[in-house]
Amino acid sequence: MGAPKEKAGHPTFDSLLAAARAELRRLSPAEAAVVVARGARLVDTRPHVQRPADG
């Protein structure tokens, strides 16, 4: 079973997610520390099992 095909005028969830992710600007750890120190909120959306392994 392959990836779902887009129907005319109806994007798939995966294509919508890819488009949204393409608009994000990823921060390096150093950049994140600077903006958090300036008052920004940082939301970690990784699963809890990934956080200890990846920092």
Residue 15 token pair: 């294509």
**At 25, which amino acid appears?**
R
Q: How distant, in Å, are the alpha carbons of 15, 16, 38, 40, 54 from that of 22?
A: 11, 10, 25, 21, 22
17-54 confidence digits (pLDDT tens): 999 999 998 899 899 999 999 999 998 888 888 888 87
pLDDT-derived band at 2, boundaries 50, 70, 90: low
Specify the pLDDT at position 26.
87
Calpha distance 10→16 (Å, rounded): 10
